[in-house]
Amino acid sequence: MITDMTFLFCFLPIALALYYFLDNKVKEFILFILSLLFYAVGSIKYLFIFSCSVAITVLLGRTMTKAKKNCNKKILLIIGIVLNTGLLVYYKYTDFFISNLKLSFIECKTKNIVLPLGISFFTFKSISYLVDVYKERAKLEVNPIHDALYLSFFAQIQSGPLSRYNDMSGNKNKFDFDLFAEGVYRFLIGFCKKILIANVLSNVSTEIFGTSFEKLSTSYMWLGSICFSLQLFYDFSGYSDMAIGITNMFGYNCPENFNYPYMTESVSRFWRRWHITLSSWFRDYIYIPLGGSRNKHKWRVYFNLFAVWLLTGIWHGAAWNFIVWGMGYFIAISVERLLGLPQKINSFIGKIIYRVLTLVFINFQWTIFNSKDLISALVRIKKMLIFTSNKITDRRTAFLLKDYAFFIVVAIVFSIPVIPWIEEKTKNNKYMYALYEILSSIIIVGAFIWAISFVVAGQNNPFAYANF
């Protein structure tokens, strides 16, 4: 939705104009109303449910701050968590439970429930809000509209980042030019990542993952899985950049969500770089409350890890392949913890090999993630591991490589910290840094115009995390 022309050239400029030219007392209320309008465009069927969820969560949070007895606070917290979790479970997992009952030969029909927009994200934000209020970690503002805006802000409602209440701070009474300019820059970067790289690579991955098993060759499948790994990174990090950019434009702060994840040294460190706000959410609200790593019983530490990764898999989707995907990370991280990897690898070559093996494992994981079900995921991985050839698809592999080589190379190059390296090398020379800033600005504006032409031509896919 935030890559649509109507949003870019109508909704966003109008929202910014209203926010900065209206009185400070009403600007957050107007932004809240605009956020509801944005939600209505994306999911009008569930606008009432979403509005009620936001209102009830804010009411519980505000009542919690006035409760004098700790037991009353705890009751309000439990009610809030149960209501929000119940909403998520019903809409996201009812059909999954019913379909598994069918396998047990129990007669029942799936309801084909359509997910409310961003339900996984606003549910987790609601839970973090309630827990932080209960533990007095959230410093609530006087106006409860700020709370409602935090839960519903249109920039983050679709696919995050999963910011905390205290993250959405900022000087709302004064225009911060530097923050606004940084926001515009981040938005343009994210827009180009989504349209020029993620959407283009999706042409390859969609074709290959849609090909019947008997026609797949090993090279064809590897190309599809690598393109999907790159596509998902640019799609999701692109959305995060745009969300952070929009948040900055309105004078608020927003946490980072990606930090060159494919530069990871290990599987466990990958999740300190990928979807950082989700990882920190599970750490703070599930892993640490369960006891975390500081437990005298080692088995309890691994149980805590098991619980976190089971829930992470379930959160990502109501299907067995997502559960297996989560368990894959649990096993890999547990093995690294048991063997002390990669810390115990001393040689440079050994560290490089381990990094490559880590990326191969992550690539297999994304293959499971992008498959329709567990069986198809296993068949695709088998195709990747056991060499098979097919004249038609092998020729198609060569054709796709030739046709999309430029975009694949660009995707690989910018998945490593090239830009920070250039900035570091030029920052001490004001002439070189000025030249870098001029050239990068020209390139970004040119890329944005090119990306706009793609959208106008109808080449604009939904975000990969839009149905979460």
Helix axes 70-103, 47-66, angle to 10 degrees: 150
Residue for token digits 């004249």? 391
Give the separation between CA 402 and CA 424, rounded to whole angstroms.
34
Question: Rounded to 5, what percent of the chain is helix, strand, coil?
Answer: 75, 0, 25
Alpha-carbon span 455 to 460, nearest angstrom? 5
Cα distance between residue 286 and residue 308, in whole Å: 7
What is the longest distance spanned by two Cα atoms in the chain?
Answer: 74
Q: How far is CA 229 from CA 138, 201, 239, 330, 362, in A?
A: 36, 10, 16, 20, 8
φ, ψ for residue 47, nearest 5 deg: -60, -45
Burial class (CB in 10 A: 0-12, 13-18, 19+), 182: middle
Q: Is residue 1 a contact partner of residue 7, using CB atoms and an 8 Å limit? A: yes
Radius of gyration of the chain (CA): 23
- C-alpha–C-alpha distance, residues 460 and 456, integer Å: 9
Report residue 166 as tokens: 């205290």
Task: Tokens for 318, please give them.
Answer: 């109501």
* 160 φ/ψ sector (left φ>0, alpha ψ -120 to 50, else beta): left
Segments in 158-217 forming alpha helices (H): 177-192, 199-209
Q: Is 316 a catalytic residue?
A: yes
Catalytic residue among 146, 275, 297, 316: 316
Structure letter (DSSP) for residue 113? P
Whole-number Å distance between alpha carbons of 329 and 334: 8
> By the 8 A CB rule, do 249 and 183 touch?
yes
Q: Which residue has the tokens 């119940």?
A: 86
- For tokens 């959160």, name the residue: 315
Q: Active-site residue numbers?
A: 316
